Structure 1
Amino acid sequence: MANTLLKCLKRLAFAVVMFGSLSALHAEDARWAIALHGGAGSVAKDISPERLAAYQAGLQQALKTGEEILKKGGTSLEAVEATVIVLEDASCFNAGRGAVFNAAGFHQLDASIMDGSTLACGGVSAIERTRHPIQAARLVMQKTPHVLLTSKAADSFAESHGIEIVTPDFFFDATRWSQLLKKLEREGVPPLKEPAYGMPPIAKNAQATNDFDISRGTVGCVALDQHGNLAAATSTGGMTGKMVGRVGDSPIIGAGTYADNQGCAVSGTGSGEEYIRNAIAFQVNWRVKQDQQSVVEAVDACLTEVLKPGDGGIIAVDHEGNMTLQFSTGAMSRAWSDWKGNRGTAIWEGPFEDN
């Protein structure tokens, strides 16, 4: 009887150990991580409570959207696209609705997306009517043999595949319009009386604010899913007062966006021309993949040794779920979350306390 009881206890102990081991293994397999940014630039710390609330709400909604996909076993590609769609719809960010104006008084939008498991990628540039440029970028990746489509042809391509098309005044934001007028005044350029598409009805009740100025802002997201795959996505309205037809780094694979399972996923924000000249997104990945630097070291090196002070920010995540969100500007709206319970949102140095 005693021997039988001892054997049962040993079997039970073995089962407990095995269950614990399997649980630990499952937890390890279930690792995921996500980081996002809403643009690097300058945001005054005394901004109005309303504007601050808009930033926080946009960051929280975008973060929740992406992390819920990853928690349920969705792909990193799905997560980064869905997250950026939320940011494109939040007018406080310079992407989609709320995009800045170019020198002629209208909007031209850029975006790109990349799958780290296959290096498949797609981008669109200088589009004017597609509500969610990141959706068009994914279509380019999945439905064409190309990497980048541009301007009206890219809008038409998106429309032919059922992507929502809007009139240009959909992207109007009173603060962005005010920023353009101030920039033209500083440069001694005659002011525009109204946007190129006319002053939309919503402008009558819209109030501009001087709370913030992210004229080089961008939105982006990087993620690791439970399958071990990385993805990155970036979307932007570009620079306030940019030349018509100007294209920055956001739709350029290797400049503003890159993802490689063997290295890391990267999204940048800031002075696009500098990110293009230095292939910043690819360079961060190369440093991780070939030079065996951590994502923290790789991003820090690019911001401090390659780019100039104030050029912008970079977010990155590697295949182990290590994340970094760094910037050399006065602020970068950002958010992050992972399988270990790390979670936060921030604009300035430290995270908000209500995360």
Structure 2
Amino acid sequence: MQIDKEYVDQIDASLNPQLGMSKPISILASNNKNYFLKRQYVIDQNGVSHNENAVFMQELFVSQIANSLQIPIPSCAILNLEKEFLEANEDLRFQYHLKPGLYFGSEILNNTESNLVPHYIEAMQHGKPQIIRSWNSFFRNVENPEAYASIIALDLLTANCDRFGNEGNIIITNHHNNRKVFALDFGHCFLSPYWNKDKVRFMQSIPDKDQDPNNYIDYFLCKLLQSTNKPLNPLGTIFSGMQNNIFFESGNPFAKIISKIESLKSEDLRMFINQIPSVWVSGDTLQLDTYVNFIEKSKYLVRYLLERLYELGAFNNSLGGKLEWPISGINYGIQ
């Protein structure tokens, strides 16, 4: 995966998204591309500042994994925000709480669709409430529907509890009526955007492929349900919209992505992790090794997480029974 290393040339506040606590900033980089610049220091709705000290590392690491699995994501860049730029733009520096240094950037895609129904502004002017299209219909009729199964599998692989209820990290582009879905925002993978004792404990507790994975599955699914906090839609609106567009009549739609995930190579994971700038790593080699080892073990657990979700009725288009997998090689895991 090509990772551009560019400088921030300009900030364009007019394109800044409003979803999410981090509220990334739209910038023009030295390669003349527009990116959303993510921030490590964020302020929550109560005005409390948080240092998300693993967010940049996780964004870049998982972006490379997604790209290797051929999951559609925007291109990314390591963006250098120079001291001289901030000194020349003091108002922006204080407005966005920016400091000089390296930031993670996700390229801004053109021709993105909104989930708002057409003419909603006119409706609001006539006293009618703002209406949002069903996520099921919004996700329908894309040219890459296989991406939905792949995105769900990737999030299970990387313990990403942030996607399924967060309406800002799946986007659809529309070029000449060719709609395509993309996944973005991996900063909250591995249960949180922080590197701390809780993160180490969780990541190091993941079982080997010859160990019983049930405790891990129970724990992770519990965290997944807690993160959405939506009792009428347990796994969140985004998960609901994706799973309603996943079909099982022609076989297991997760089989292909699981084959790719289980084929991830240690040397590739090590290459991905070595692309991380050292200033984004707060835990030295322990942190790097922990992330690689986690994926090495997690890649064999995704199929069992999917089987549990299938049995629990998470997929409305299920055919019943058990999720069947093609027989190829050794089937590791529970017998």
Higher relative contact order (CA 8 A, sep 6+): 1
Larger Rg: 1
